[in-house]
Amino acid sequence: MARIGIPRALLYHRYHLLWETFFRGLEEEVMVSPPTNKGILELGVQHSLTDICLPVKLACGHVAAIASKVDYLFLPRVLSVEKDAYTCPKIVAFPDMVRLNIPGIPKILDPVIDLRKKVVSHERQLREVAETLGKSHLLKKASREALRAQSNWFEAEPEAKKEASFLFKEVGSASWRGLRIALLGHPYNLFDSFINFNLREKLASMGIEILTLKHLEPSSIEEEAACLDYPPYWTAAKELLAGARLFFRSDLVDGIVYLIAFECGPDALLKVLIDSESKKSPHVAYMSLVLDEHTGEAGVETRVEAFLDAIARRKRTSRVTVAGVR
């Protein structure tokens, strides 16, 4: 039995059910790196380029944290998961970054995942992995179980913990309780509490309802994406833009916070598009937060405080638009 290492970073936050179930179906041991912490960030900064985005730096740190403890690293080159759309090129090139920047790494399993053609199956994409591990006879069963597990991803999001330490005005504001806030961003920005300073947990601890794309019907997101005049080339960006439009047009939320990783090219373009959409829906407050390794927790909380206060004040004044929210 081989020990397969999977970094808790990047697309892990979207496909962890798929990957972990697949390797367990091959009867291999799976070792996932620990949740992000300061030590992992320091390793990532040490083993990556200075001008790379924070999520990739952290991914390098996660690899370095487990490299010596596993027989293989699973770093798939996820080129595309649907027709006419792609993932970030840094994700595709990540195995090469690891090979060039992190010494002493074990063998890397880096299959190319390219699902632009419907005739290409998930099983076929991972065949070389099963063959490398000598588990070809378990491939069909493992693939079937993995796809079944991944189909539950939209329902598998853990709720934000209600108890969390927070600085928001020390005790928070009673006027914020009951607000509904949509958090938008790549899964690795939303569900990695280190990157976002426990924002989900802090908001939930004050009785604020948190919504993400998982609270929208997948079919609705697909239909909205099909209506975009100029859909982004990246699957995640397309989903985020479609989801933002749905939230802006609905009465589901009082405000939207878009979490952006500094140095992320797709995020930089997407911010412009979402900013434009926000101006068409003044009844939903909107703000963006740019995150990198130098971002201060106090600064983030101060901005979020002001945002929540503006929403609460507007609700008290019959939803009159408050200047300066955006």
Residue 281's contacts (CB-CB under 8 Å, 6 or more residues apart) are 248, 249
Give the C-alpha separation, 123 to 142, whole Å. 9
Share of the chain above pLDDT 90, in %: 67
Which secondary-structure segment (H or E) carries 14?
helix 12-25
- 124: pLDDT confidence band, cut at 50, 70 and 90? confident
Query: Longest C-alpha distance within the chain, in Å?
Result: 67
pLDDT for residue 316 = 80
Q: How far is CA 10 from the centre of its chain?
A: 7
pLDDT for residue 119 = 55
Report helix, strand or coil for 178. Answer: coil
pLDDT tens profile 127-144: 999 999 999 999 999 999
- Fold that domain 159-316 belongs to in CATH: Rossmann fold (3.40.50)
Whether residue 41 has pLDDT greater than 60: yes
How do the domains of the chain map onto residue ranges?
3-154, 159-316
pLDDT tens profile 230-286: 888 899 999 999 999 999 999 999 999 999 998 888 899 999 999 999 999 888 999
Mean pLDDT for the chain overall: 88
Q: Which two tokens stand for residue 3?
A: 């020990």
Q: How far is CA 243 from CA 203, 224, 251, in A?
A: 21, 8, 13
Contact 79/15 with Cβ under 8 angstroms?
Answer: no
Specify the CATH number of the domain 3-154.
3.40.50
Whether residue 310 has pLDDT greater than 80: yes
60-81: average pLDDT: 96
Whether residue 202 has pLDDT greater than 50: yes
How much is the CA Rg of the chain, to the nearest whole Å? 20
Report helix, strand or coil for 33. Answer: coil
Whether residue 318 has pLDDT greater than 70: no
pLDDT for residue 260 = 93
pLDDT tens profile 144-190: 999 999 888 766 555 555 444 444 554 456 788 899 999 999 999 99
Domains 3-154 and 159-316 fall in the same CATH topology: yes
Task: Of 59-73, 147-161, 290-304, give the lowest mean pLDDT range.
Answer: 147-161
